[in-house]
């Protein structure tokens, strides 16, 4: 039997053919994919008309990839309406169920931008049963407010500013607006500006919040703080009077008024108001911290310490409260140490030892509070200085470590 021979194809050639086949197959799949993705504004409109806003969004987003369609005002108008109603749908779901996770966070702002683009391309663009650009833009402010506040809450101040700026534009498009937000939009926008260190414009919009009928005490408090920072005494008094007129007997405004009298040096008037504070002040941790600060100013550390302990019970693990408790405990340690020294000079060593023990206990407590603050604010140099001082007094081995940290921070 003769040996059979076969023609051998070089391995390199096989690989080359394989690459060509795979390339052609990929092209075929891509072409099928494009065919499957092909959409039209009419398809998007029909889905919108059926109130299937999620699929309508998918369809119109594909249309926007087409350069010709993306130049048409009507395409943008379809997108604007689809995004608008989708945002409304999301908002309604969230309102009914707080656990609902919003899926289309960008819908409200996307609607605003699309309405704006549609109007730029054609001032007369319209579609049956759809909002015109001006109608849509004037209805978006509540949705944009919700979106902007969400960004504000997570600390994305630049994003919040951009979105809330559009909300303000929407709100002011028609006067009066469809329904009033009673200053809330202006308040959140002003607060965002303040977080971005634009205090001048923040003050402007806090005042606009008041003109818009705000009964939010924080509007008056923020204005009070801004005017105080700028030392505008007349403005401080004016805003306090406006606040008391809008929100009579509000405990936060009473505390701010006490702050005002301390600020202008009228301590006697301030102390009379402290003695007459309503019970509601002592149920609010933030207000308790502020009142405790007045006692710290008066070097009444015992009273301040007691109030801060109560604040800590209401709001545990708050580093501001820990810091102020640390301050009070530190100075109470010094007071007791001085009493111990005075008694030792008089020869009363037995009672001197009692105050020495109190002094050390307060110092250990101060150490604990400042260490907690340091965990939250590790770069705060003042906290580091205080801890080093405490470690020195306690002869703690932690002194060297803190001293090294301070030197590294100062370089």
DSSP class per residue in 29-95? HHHHHHHHH---HHHHHHHHHTT-HHHHHHHHHHHTTSTTGGG-HHHHHHHHHHHHHHHHHHHHHHH
pLDDT at 98 over 70: yes
CA distance 159 to 146: 13
pLDDT at 39: 67
Higher-pLDDT residue of 7 and 68 is 68
Q: What are 123's two structure tokens?
A: 């001032």
* Contact yes or no for 301/328 (Cβ under 8 A): yes
Q: Give the tens place of pLDDT for each residue, 101-154.
A: 889 999 999 999 999 999 999 999 999 999 999 999 999 999 999 999 999 999
Asked if 181 contacts 146 with a C-beta cutoff of 8 angstroms, the reply is no
**Torsion, Cα of 19, 23, 26, 31 (10° steps):** -170
If phi > 0 it is left, if psi is from -120 to 50 it is alpha, else beta; for residue 183 that is: left
Task: Determine the Cα–Cα distance for residues 99 and 24; give it in Å rounded to an integer.
Answer: 48
- Taking each continuous run of H as one helix and of E as one strand, the counts in the chain are 20, 0
Instruction: Encode burial over 313-337: b for 16+ CB neighbours within 10 A, e otherwise.
Output: eeeeebbebbbbbbbbbbbbbebbb
- Say if residue 30's pLDDT is above 90: no
Given a cut of 90, is residue 170 above it in pLDDT?
A: yes
Per this entry, what is the length of the chain?
Answer: 411
Q: Is the pLDDT of residue 401 over 50?
A: yes
Which ranges of 298-348 does DSSP label H, i.e. alpha helix? 301-314, 319-345
8: confidence class by pLDDT, cuts 50, 70, 90: very low
Cα–Cα distance measured from residue 86 to residue 136, given in angstroms and rounded to the nearest whole number: 13
Cα angle for residues 275, 280, 282 (degrees, 5° grid)? 65
- Residues near 28 by Cβ (< 8 Å), separated by ≥ 6? none
Which pLDDT score, from 0 to 100, does residue 100 have? 87
pLDDT digits (tens, 9 = 90+) for 11-27: 344 344 334 433 333 34
- Give the per-residue pLDDT at 35: 37
CATH number of the 315-411 domain: 1.25.40
281: DSSP letter: G
DSSP state of 247: S
Element at 102 (helix H, strand E): none
**CB of 360 within 8 A of CB of 333?**
yes
CA 320 to chain centre: 17
In this model, does residue 280 exceed pLDDT 70?
A: yes
What average pLDDT does this structure show over 227-250?
94
The SS3 call for residue 393 is: helix
Q: Which residue has the higher pLDDT, 150 or 39?
A: 150
Q: In the chain, pLDDT over 90 holds for what percent of residues?
A: 86
Sign of the torsion angle spanned by Cα atoms 114, 118, 124, 128 = negative
Confidence band, pLDDT 50/70/90 cuts, at residue 38: low
Sequence-distant (6+) residues with CB within 8 A of 88 are 143
Domain residue spans in the chain? 39-139, 315-411
- 160's tokens: 């919040």
Q: What is the pLDDT of residues 320-369, one digit of tens each?
A: 999 999 999 999 999 999 999 999 999 999 999 999 999 999 999 999 99
Prediction pTM value: 0.81
What is the token pair recorded at 164? Answer: 């809330």
Residue labelled with tokens 């604007």: 80
CA-nearest of 272, 390, 280, 283 to 337 is 390
pLDDT of 9 higher than 90: no
d(CA 405, CA 401): 6
């Amino acid at each position: 039997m003769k040996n059979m021979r076969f023609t051998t194809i070089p391995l390199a050639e096989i690989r080359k053919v394989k690459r060509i086949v795979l390339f052609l197959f990929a092209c075929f799949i891509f072409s099928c994919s494009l065919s499957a993705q092909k959409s039209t504004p009419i398809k998007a409109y029909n889905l919108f008309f059926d109130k299937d806003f999620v699929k309508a969004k998918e369809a119109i987003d594909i249309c926007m990839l087409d350069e010709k369609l993306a130049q048409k005002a009507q395409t943008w108008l379809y997108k604007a309406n689809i995004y608008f109603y989708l945002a409304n749908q999301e908002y309604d779901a969230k309102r009914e169920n707080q656990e609902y996770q919003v899926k289309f966070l960008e819908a409200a702002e996307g609607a605003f931008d699309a309405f704006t683009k549609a109007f730029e391309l054609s001032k007369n663009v319209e579609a049956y049963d759809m909002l015109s650009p001006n109608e849509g833009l004037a209805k978006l402010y509540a949705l944009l407010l919700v979106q902007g506040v969400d960004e504000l809450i997570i600390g994305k101040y630049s994003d919040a500013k951009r979105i809330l700026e559009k909300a303000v534009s929407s709100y002011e498009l028609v006067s009066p607006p469809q329904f009033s937000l009673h200053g809330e939009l202006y308040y959140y926008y002003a607060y965002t500006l303040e977080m971005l260190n634009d205090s001048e414009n923040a003050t402007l919009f806090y005042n606009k919040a008041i003109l818009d009928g705000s009964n939010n005490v924080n509007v008056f408090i923020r204005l009070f703080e801004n005017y105080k920072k700028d030392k505008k005494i007349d403005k401080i008094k004016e805003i306090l009077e406006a606040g008391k007129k809008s929100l009579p007997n509000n405990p936060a405004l009473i505390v701010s008024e006490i702050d005002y009298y301390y600020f202008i040096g009228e301590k006697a008037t301030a102390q009379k108001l402290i003695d007459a504070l309503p019970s509601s002040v002592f149920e609010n941790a933030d207000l308790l911290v502020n009142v405790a600060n007045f006692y710290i100013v008066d070097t009444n550390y015992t009273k301040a310490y007691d109030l801060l302990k109560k604040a800590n019970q209401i709001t545990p693990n708050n580093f501001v409260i820990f810091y102020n408790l640390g301050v009070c405990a530190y100075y109470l340690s010094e007071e007791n140490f001085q009493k111990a020294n005075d008694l030792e000079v008089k020869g009363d060593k037995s009672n001197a030892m009692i105050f020495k023990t109190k002094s050390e206990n307060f110092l250990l407590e101060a150490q604990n509070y400042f260490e907690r603050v340091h965990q939250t604010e590790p770069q705060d140099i003042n906290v580091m200085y205080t801890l080093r001082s405490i470690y020195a007094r306690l002869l703690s081995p932690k002194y060297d470590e803190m001293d090294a940290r301070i030197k590294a921070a100062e370089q």
